[in-house]
Amino acid sequence: MKETDILVVGGGPAGLCAAIEAARAGARVLIIDDGLRLGGQLIKQTHKFFGSKDEYAGTRGFKIADVLLSELERYGDRVEAITNTTVTGYYTDDGVFGALTGEERYFKVKPKRAIIATGAYEKTIPVPNCDLPGVYGAGAVQTLMNVYGVKPGEKALMVGAGNIGLIISYQLAQAGVQVQAVVEAMPKIGGYLVHASKIRRIGIPIYTSHTIKEIHGKEHVEGATIVQIDERWEPISGTEKYIEADLICLAVGLSPLIELLWQAGCKMRYVPELGGYVPVRNREMRTSHPDFYVAGDAAAIEEASTAMIEGRIAGLCAAASLGYRPPDYEERLEGFWAQLERLRRGPVTEKIRQGLPKAMKEE
Amino acid sequence: MADEKDIVICRCEDVTLSKIRELIEKGYTTPDEIKRITRAGMGPCQGRTCRDLIIREIARITGKKIEEIPMTTFRPPIRPIKLGVLAESEDDE
């Protein structure tokens, strides 16, 4: 059985930053990640980030992963990372985690604290034939293209015009896939204007107030029928359009991936603005279970930029709770919160601002 | 047009939307009950696809809010592990 001060579950933007802060403070850290290499979703993000210099604005996602990994290397003597490994459970009776490397090796971990930075999973929608080969989560398609170099299809239909749907539509076009259309159920585009403009400029139509009614195909996706919807989300008959496609990408939202926090008995709240059930936490990103911290999409569906700062808060505070309290603790914590507030200021993050107070612990 | 009854909600265990609606109409109004009867959510993904859809369907039919519907129990392991792998683990203390 492995023992450590802090177990960080997930080596994406939140987890890497949590590990950096905790190790900087002096704690021993073990990162476990199910990917083949660290970086989480950053490693497939070829677009440039927004925000300010503090959040690596203007840098492409996969480059940010490199920056974080080299920052982590400074504390190499205190940090261990295990990849290709899933943390499979938490056992409340003895405070032990189980972990599975590949499908062959099972081992246990007993940390003093855990930071859950497991990210999110992609939501889906029930449509006839949604189980046909060729129907993917948009994030999965991005992984296929940008990590494994696989062209996922020839003609694509994107469902969802949030940032993920828009960015991946553009990247599909870059990979030589004909993007037939983007459909969005809301009356307006959810993602940033820059991303929407880019795909409009290359001639991809965006149908707002539209949904996918049915997917067609026998052995594989061959096309889909889309339909306009009214303000009560009812299909308007006569507005159906057939779109030929061998690839349907669903970018219809993400949900926090928090099985481990449920297992630990952490108090949860249903906050739709944040993606569904989320753990209740305080300003230290500590959950109702004193040994469990949370950061990133596992805490609320936001952006990689906020995930990185939440990770730093969780790492700093988890280390401090074990006695590794750096002399600049207070100003660092306040600085991170000021950064978060700055990032959450714009009109695009209004939902997040409404949702977050519901997830904070009343103290 | 494909029939609604053919919409697969749980891809791991092949459970359709019409099966889930039929059970809700019969009074099985928690995801745990539906899981026990149909195995929805008990496959390799452990409910990551179907759980939200089933809860939403229960809410729609019963008129309850999502937060009023009891969540399923999350038990370890969260992904399948072969019994032999557990038996061979060096961590058997």
- Give pLDDT tens digits for B60-86: 999 999 999 999 999 999 988 999 999
Let me know if residue B8 belongs to a domain: yes
- What confidence tier does B92 reach under pLDDT thresholds 50, 70, 90? low
Closest CA to A291 of A323, A318, A256, A265: A318
Is A126–B2 a contact, with Cβ atoms under 8 angstroms apart?
Answer: no
- Three-state SS for A298? helix
Let me know if residue B31 belongs to a domain: yes
- The mean pLDDT value for A194-211 works out to 95
Closest CA to A292 of A110, A87, A113: A113
Q: Which residues of B touch A123 (CB under 8 A)?
A: 52
Let me know if residue B10 belongs to a domain: yes
Is A130–B8 a contact, with Cβ atoms under 8 angstroms apart?
Answer: yes
pLDDT of residue A124: 93
- Give pLDDT tens digits for A111-163: 999 999 999 999 999 999 999 999 999 999 999 999 999 999 999 999 999 99
DSSP H/E element including B22:
helix B17-26
Q: Token pair 């604290």 is at which residue?
A: A113
Is B3–A128 a contact, with Cβ atoms under 8 angstroms apart?
Answer: yes
- The mean pLDDT value for A198-212 works out to 96
- The mean pLDDT value for B23-29 works out to 97
Structural domain boundaries, residue B13? 4-87
- The mean pLDDT value for B15-34 works out to 96
pLDDT of residue A172: 97
CB count within 10 Å of CB A309 equals 26
pLDDT of residue A90: 98
- What confidence tier does A29 reach under pLDDT thresholds 50, 70, 90? very high
End-to-end Cα separation, chain A, in angstroms:
36
Sorted by sequence, the CB contacts under 8 Å of residue A138 that are 6+ apart come out as A122, A158, A160, A164, A165, A168, A249, A250, A251
Q: For residue A62, which phi and psi values (nearest 5 degrees)? A: -70, -25
- What confidence tier does B88 reach under pLDDT thresholds 50, 70, 90? confident
Taking the CA of residue B63 and the nearest CA in chain A, the distance in Å comes to: 17
Q: Which residues of B touch A262 (CB under 8 A)?
A: 71, 74
Taking the CA of residue A140 and the nearest CA in chain B, the distance in Å comes to: 14
- The mean pLDDT value for A83-109 works out to 96
- Give pLDDT tens digits for A273-320: 999 999 999 999 999 999 999 999 999 999 999 999 999 999 999 999
pLDDT of residue B91: 67
- Distance, CA of A104 to CA of B84 (rounded, Å): 9
From B3, B77, B91, residue closest to A107, measured CB to CB: B91
Q: Two tokens at A341?
A: 């507030």
Let me know if residue B42 belongs to a domain: yes
- The mean pLDDT value for A316-329 works out to 98
Let me know if residue B69 belongs to a domain: yes
Statement: residue A362 has pLDDT above 80: no
CATH code where residue B72 lies: 1.10.10.1100
Is A1–B93 a contact, with Cβ atoms under 8 angstroms apart?
Answer: yes
Let me know if residue B93 belongs to a domain: no
- Chain A contacts to B (CB-CB under 8 A): 1, 86, 88-91, 98, 100, 103-108, 121, 123-124, 126-131, 214, 255, 257, 259-260, 262-263, 268-270, 272, 276-277
Statement: residue A165 has pLDDT above 90: yes
pLDDT of residue A137: 96
- What confidence tier does A252 reach under pLDDT thresholds 50, 70, 90? very high
What's the number of CA atoms in the CB half-sphere (13 Å) around residue A62? 10
Let me know if residue B92 belongs to a domain: no
Q: CA-nearest residue of chain A to B55?
A: A276
Q: CA-nearest residue of chain A to B84?
A: A104
Question: Would you tell me the crossing angle of helices B31-38 and B50-62 to the nearest 10 degrees?
Answer: 120
Statement: residue A262 has pLDDT above 70: yes
pLDDT of residue A51: 67
Categorise residue A139: left if φ over 0, alpha if ψ from -120 to 50, beta otherwise: alpha
- Three-state SS for A197? helix
Q: Two tokens at A198?
A: 């880019």
Answer for the pair A9, A315: CB distance below 8 angstroms, yes or no: no
Please provide the average confidence, as pLDDT, over all residues in chain B: 90
Is A89–B66 a contact, with Cβ atoms under 8 angstroms apart?
Answer: no
Statement: residue B1 has pLDDT above 50: no
Q: CA-nearest residue of chain B to A106?
A: B89
pLDDT of residue A129: 94
- Three-state SS for B36? helix
- Distance, CA of A98 to CA of A107 (rounded, Å): 6
Mutate one of A259, A268, A277, A358 to test the B interface: name it (highest B CB count within 10 A).
A259
Cis peptide leading into residue A13 (ω within 30°): no
pTM: 0.95
pLDDT of residue A53: 72
Q: Which residues of A touch B53 (CB under 8 A)?
A: 124, 126
**Total count of domains within chain B:** 1
DSSP conformational letter for A362: P
Is A100–B90 a contact, with Cβ atoms under 8 angstroms apart?
Answer: no
- Give pLDDT tens digits for A329-357: 999 999 999 999 999 998 878 999 999 99
Could you give the residue ranges of the DSSP H alpha helices within chain A?
13-25, 61-73, 138-146, 163-174, 193-201, 259-263, 304-321, 329-343, 350-359
Q: Token pair 């059970």 is at which residue?
A: B23
> For chain A, what percent of residues have pLDDT higher than 70?
99
Statement: residue A52 has pLDDT above 80: no
- What confidence tier does A40 reach under pLDDT thresholds 50, 70, 90? very high
Q: Token pair 């996969």 is at which residue?
A: A62
Statement: residue A363 has pLDDT above 60: no
CB count within 10 Å of CB A168 equals 29
From A88, A214, A259, residue closest to B1, measured CB to CB: A214
- The mean pLDDT value for A230-257 works out to 96
Statement: residue A360 has pLDDT above 60: yes
Task: Write a three-state SS string for A235-286.
Answer: ECCCCCEEEECCEEEECCCEEECCHHHHHCCCCEEEEHHHCEEEECECCCCE
Q: For residue A13, which phi and psi values (nearest 5 degrees)? A: -55, -45
Answer for the pair A161, A190: CB distance below 8 angstroms, yes or no: yes
pLDDT of residue B5: 60
pLDDT of residue A161: 96
- Three-state SS for A92? coil
β pairing state of B8-10 and B15-16: antiparallel
- Distance, CA of A96 to CA of A100 (rounded, Å): 13
Answer for the pair A182, A199: CB distance below 8 angstroms, yes or no: yes
